[in-house]
Structure 1
Amino acid sequence: MRDVEINSDDESPYECFECGTIIVAEDNPGTCPDCGGSMRNRWTPIE
């Protein structure tokens, strides 16, 4: 993904792997505020 600029100052949507909760934050929140599951950046493709 060399053509994608990653700017850590921009907010990104993060989605919970467990319950699907989506939050927008500048940094990865780590765990879901609703269920405690792992969060992923929705702009990062899963391979």
Structure 2
Amino acid sequence: MKDVKFNPREESTYECFSCGTVIRATAPERCPKCGADMRNRQMPIE
């Protein structure tokens, strides 16, 4: 797997862990729909 360089000021695709909402943003802290944690889809889940 190739490492992805992360730039917090760059817009990326994020997915909500709870409801599955997908948005394009720059490092959102919470899901705009349900308030749960978001994950950057470019970063692998371990």
The TM tier, using the shorter chain, reads: 0.7 to 0.9
Distance 1:29 1:9, change over 3 A: closer
Question: 1:6 corresponds to which residue?
Answer: 6
User: How far 1:8 sits from its partner (Å)?
Assistant: 3.7
Distance 1:2 1:34, change over 3 A: same
Q: Which portions of structure 1, spanning 4 or more consecutive aligned residues, are displaced by more than 2 angstroms?
A: 1-10
Unaligned runs of 5+ in 2: none
The percent of aligned pairs where both chains have the same amino acid is 59
Unaligned runs of 5+ in 1: none
TM-score (norm: length of structure 1)? 0.77
User: How far 1:3 sits from its partner (Å)?
Assistant: 5.0
What are the residue-to-residue correspondences of 1:8-47 with 2, within 5 Å? 8-26=8-26, 28-47=27-46
Task: State the superposition RMSD in angstroms.
Answer: 2.0
TM-score (norm: length of structure 2)? 0.78
2:16–2:39: 8 Å Cα contact kept in structure 1?
Answer: yes
Aligned length: 46
